[in-house]
Structure 1
């Protein structure tokens, strides 16, 4: 019996399974049955003549031969996609799919409409936007681009600095009328703090005065949350004081539903970055989106745009 061919479809299934470690996840992503993914892998292993994956009840991992073959498949699939991009570019119509990940609150309040505008300009580009405050693995999740707040750990991914996200200490007028308006950082002791569970050392607030003096104040309260939109609602409900990104509350400050607390003291800004899967960075539609979002995000409320290198 003749061996099956190592087709692009089978390579794509293999690459996705290698990255995600799950046949069922890949089947959902491709919109096909898990049996089809299993068949693709079996036929590909028959085509190359060696086992590429090691399967257990919990996980699928690459064999030694599979690791080398995976690297070659990535190169082949990238070249195929770039060739298709060049062909589409010849008729001036970028097309294809892009997967983006972004922190939840920023995605809901701002990134969504930026993507809508992008798709209006490029109607043949499909965008899949995933919203999570967890630090996902871009390779494993098959994500092309991620928007991240906060410092980054060492990574093999390409990083594009978008700027700094300014923050302010805010509260609702009803809360301040009830509990009093702090006049100095030390006055925050005893106030109800709305804290984020996914931010390290959120029990200590760092403020800098106009004279450059640094103030560290214990910051405690009965409410801890893991989502920026939940913190926004808690602030509106008068549940306490919280440091908030300006893009999260600028509309609420503008119409008086929230007030800045201790306006003479500044909170340290937070880095805002774009992480890019290196093998996807050269694809035309991905480059278009990267440049478009970098420009648009730099105009959001409270974002201090990164200065060009050099």
Structure 2
């Protein structure tokens, strides 16, 4: 007979996270405990239930047949507990609790952090864990509630709130242009140094859109490729070359004259901007509040056109 007293929420949460991450050590780091604690929680839960939930080898961790059935029920139970806890905390007062947020690094540093500070001033009972990365993470696997994403999305298991599009332009520092000259048409770009993003597919060729139906294609290559928007910004400032930049990344540099537009009669294809979230988590008041606040905040960032 199963020992129901051994089936605790803490052990259930550990099991669900291990099933999602496929790693005991990753869950230990996530929870801030030793791996032995995670192992003990799993062993105690399996003993209480009288079944094996996980199949462990030296290479991988997978759910047993019983584990898969229990995982589905446990996930539902934990969601209901979270929602009930949230409602209880918020009864007669403001939303409270922790929200885990992921955001493109440069956008987060330059614009989102300031908006989150204002949000927390208005809602002091909400805690936010902000992760900054240009690598697209799995929200469910990483236990993230909300993500701000640039570019097309195709994860059908998640829900998105489309904010608009982010405008992109060509820019270079005054120093670089003084030394190398201003490109006069799209074909001139081939003889210049480009600062490219390694995580943007096809960044070695640009499509430039001018007035009306004027569309040009241009080669865009160079010696420097980076994987972080803030690195591209610094490379621009020191004169490494021309960059295809989001307007929000360089609007202050344009205003101060540190960088100038290149081929100002043309813009690049805009990039979709969305807030992505786990549907079940969006039912929690504090998560809904953060989603709605992000939509407003991002829509006010320079160069992001809402509803486009």
Between 60-69 and 190-199, the greater mean CA deviation after superposition:
60-69
Where 1:68 maps in the other structure, the secondary structure is helix
Partner of 2:50: 49
TM normalised by structure 1 equals 0.95
Task: Name the CA distance, whole Å, in 1 between partners of 2:124 and 2:30.
Answer: 22
Where 1:189 maps in the other structure, the secondary structure is helix
Task: Name the CA distance, whole Å, in 1 between partners of 2:102 and 2:292.
Answer: 16
In structure 1, the gaps of 5 or more residues are none
1:25-104 → structure 2 map (5 Å cutoff): 25-104=26-105
* Deviation by residue 1:164-219 (Cα, 9 ceiling, x = unmatched): 00011000011111111112111212011111111111110110121322111111
Instruction: List, as ranges, runs of 4+ consecutive aligned residues in structure 1 with deviation greater than 3 Å.
Output: none
TM normalised by structure 2 equals 0.96
CA shift in 2, pair 1:2/1:239, >3 Å: closer
Where 1:111 maps in the other structure, the secondary structure is helix
Where 1:263 maps in the other structure, the secondary structure is coil
Partner of 1:140: 141
Q: Does 1:191 align with 2:192?
A: yes
Between 291-300 and 25-34, the greater mean CA deviation after superposition:
25-34
Q: How big is the shift at 1:2?
A: 7.6
Task: Name the CA distance, whole Å, in 2 between partners of 1:47 and 1:267.
Answer: 59
* Deviation by residue 1:2-35 (Cα, 9 ceiling, x = unmatched): 8342111111111111111111111122122221
Partner of 2:166: 165
Partner of 2:273: 272
Partner of 1:176: 177
Query: What is the CA RMSD across the aligned residues, in angstroms?
Result: 1.4
Q: How big is the shift at 1:279?
A: 1.8
Task: Name the CA distance, whole Å, in 2 between partners of 1:278 and 1:71.
Answer: 16
Where 1:231 maps in the other structure, the secondary structure is helix
In structure 2, the gaps of 5 or more residues are none
Task: Name the CA distance, whole Å, in 2 between partners of 1:288 and 1:154.
Answer: 23
Task: Name the CA distance, whole Å, in 2 between partners of 1:122 and 1:246.
Answer: 30
1:152-301 → structure 2 map (5 Å cutoff): 152-301=153-302
